[in-house]
Amino acid sequence: MTSETDRYAYSYDAAVLDGEMPAIVVRPENSETLGEVVKLCNDNGLPLTVRGGGTNLSGGTIPKPGGVVVLTNSMTKILEINEEDLYAVVEPGVVTAQLAAQVASSGLFYPPDPGSQTVSTIGGNVAENAGGLRGLKYGVTKDYVMGLEFFDTGGNLVKAGGKTVKCVTGLNLSGLMVGSEGTLGVFNKIILKLIPPPQAAKSMLAIFDSVKAASEAVAAIIAGKILPATLEMMDNFTIRTVENFRRAGLPTDAAALLLIEVDGHPAQVADDAARVETICRENDARELRVASDQHERNAIWQARRDALPALAKLKPTCVLEDATVPRSKIPAMIEALELISKKYQLTIGTFGHAGDGNLHPTILTDKRDKKEWEKVENAIDEIFDCALGLDGTLSGEHGIGMAKAKFMVREVGKASLDYATRIKAAVDPKNILNPEKMVRRNNG
Ligand SMILES: Cc1cc2nc3c(=O)[nH]c(=O)nc-3n(C[C@H](O)[C@H](O)[C@H](O)COP(=O)(O)OP(=O)(O)OC[C@H]3O[C@@H](n4cnc5c(N)ncnc54)[C@H](O)[C@@H]3O)c2cc1C
């Protein structure tokens, strides 16, 4: 595709960054063509950005001006679901929720569930090491990648990992490729671990009159050695916004909500649910609502999934951050976010995966207002500093891309960045694979 309209459509992604026009957009329909495209780009020194659903929030699919965007949305085959050895083999463009549904129809479970799962792809999930609501108990995408095949810059198909539960042959190349954000190779096939689904689940809402109490309850549940499948939080601003967006019967006067699901064997579920309830009450929850049927359970999780779209409707620009801290530091992080919001007089709605320390402070603003945007940039800077000061990380799941590349040295240090830059230079000497993302040649 070379028309201006098509190129414009692939010039940006879900990050709040200005787009860049590629020279051409290509859509390979099979492995052979994908490999040829990679080789052609390398032979001609053309920067190449692979794109799955384009839902990443860090500018990972914004192309280099004049470069090539390679779409994977014609490579959508689920090649195998193996019920004996519990794995699936997929092409990179398979949509996450479609794989999860197909796997479920075989009586198995693929847990990673990013909020974008109905549109994001497995290739994009692996390249970003995507997380989601079930990360607390079930882990994130990296915990399910058994192996993969990718094209190197020469168009050679490199195999990493395999179909066995254990595999220690050679360097752990699939470990290196997970989270590589399209900078080290182009995935052609991915082998994913599947697990048996939990037999039962219980969802509940815990309602609090103070954010501090809710965040202390999160820390107490984890310290109580209970591992919910999902432990999410919403602050008052987010609760009210979600309720206005789609009525779910949320208590709009609550300071904070915890949305919790425990799953597993029915006896364990009953036990865990009772203990979670006790801990929430000990931490001043004013009310506990337990979903009594699938309809009520769906309503709780729909409300949680509505958080981002509901907030995003309020202002022209919505900056979704994902600085993450160790779970015990959640109360401190929440307090810091409140101070930052007051200091810069910014509207920040906070929700997210509190159980794994991965909150999503969401700044609502208008990027065209230069004065306010300056305040937003300063606030983001302070959020990162604060998370790092609490032994946290710049990104729990959204990746670095273009958005956070300049901050990386603060977290990992110069030696680590240099090491990564040397790996990138060795496997991609012409710097054609998603240049300027994550590891920049000159950002050490
Ligand atoms: C509403 C919303 C909710 C979200 N919720 C979550 C969440 O809960 N958890 C979470 O982790 N993220 C979340 N995200 C972020 C995003 O959906 C994830 O990062 C997702 O993994 C991106 O998948 P994608 O297919 O859209 O990839 P893209 O955005 O197309 O690409 C992402 C990166 O992967 C690379 N890539 C894509 N395909 C390949 C390939 N075949 N080979 C090599 N590299 C490749 C790209 O070059 C790019 O660097 C959310 C985003 C939105 C908009």
* 181 Cβ inside 6 Å of ligand 1: yes
Contact 165, 33 (CB under 8 A): no
* 322 Cβ inside 6 Å of ligand 1: no
C-alpha 36 – ligand 1 centre gap (Å)? 24
C-alpha 82 – ligand 1 centre gap (Å)? 25
| C-alpha span between 358 and 312 (Å, rounded) | 19
In order along its 444 residues, the chain shows pLDDT tens digits of 999 999 999 999 999 999 999 999 999 999 999 999 999 999 999 999 999 999 999 999 999 999 999 999 999 999 999 999 999 999 999 999 999 999 999 999 999 999 899 999 999 999 999 999 999 999 999 999 999 999 999 999 999 999 999 999 999 999 999 999 999 999 999 999 999 999 999 999 999 999 989 999 998 999 999 999 999 999 999 999 999 999 999 999 999 999 999 999 999 999 999 999 999 999 999 999 999 999 999 999 999 999 999 999 999 999 999 989 998 898 899 889 999 999 999 999 999 999 999 999 999 999 999 999 999 999 999 999 999 999 999 999 999 999 999 899 999 999 999 999 999 999 999 999 999 898 865 443
| C-alpha span between 94 and 106 (Å, rounded) | 17
Residue with the nearest Cα to atom 18 of ligand 1?
Answer: 56
* 37 Cβ inside 6 Å of ligand 1: no
Query: In angstroms, what is the C-alpha Rg of the chain?
Result: 22
Of the candidates 191, 200, 198, 195, which has an alpha carbon nearest to the alpha carbon of residue 173?
A: 191
* 131 Cβ inside 6 Å of ligand 1: yes
Per-residue pLDDT at 441? 54
C-alpha 99 – ligand 1 centre gap (Å)? 15
* 188 Cβ inside 6 Å of ligand 1: no
Per-residue pLDDT at 439? 80
Per-residue pLDDT at 262? 98
Per-residue pLDDT at 331? 86
C-alpha 93 – ligand 1 centre gap (Å)? 11
Query: Who contacts 372 (Cβ-Cβ below 8 Å, separation ≥6)?
Result: 346, 365, 366
| C-alpha span between 354 and 24 (Å, rounded) | 41
| C-alpha span between 166 and 125 (Å, rounded) | 22
The pTM score is 0.95
Report CA torsion sign: 6, 7, 8, 14.
Answer: positive
Per-residue pLDDT at 444? 37
* 362 Cβ inside 6 Å of ligand 1: no
Q: Which stretches of 108-166 are DSSP H helices?
A: 122-128, 135-138
Of the candidates 157, 148, 156, which has an alpha carbon nearest to the alpha carbon of residue 180?
A: 148
C-alpha 121 – ligand 1 centre gap (Å)? 7
Q: Which helix (H) or strand (E) holds 243?
A: helix 236-245
Counting ligand 1 atoms within 8 A of each CB, the residue from 20, 33, 38, 50 with the most, and so the one to mutate, is 50
C-alpha 398 – ligand 1 centre gap (Å)? 8
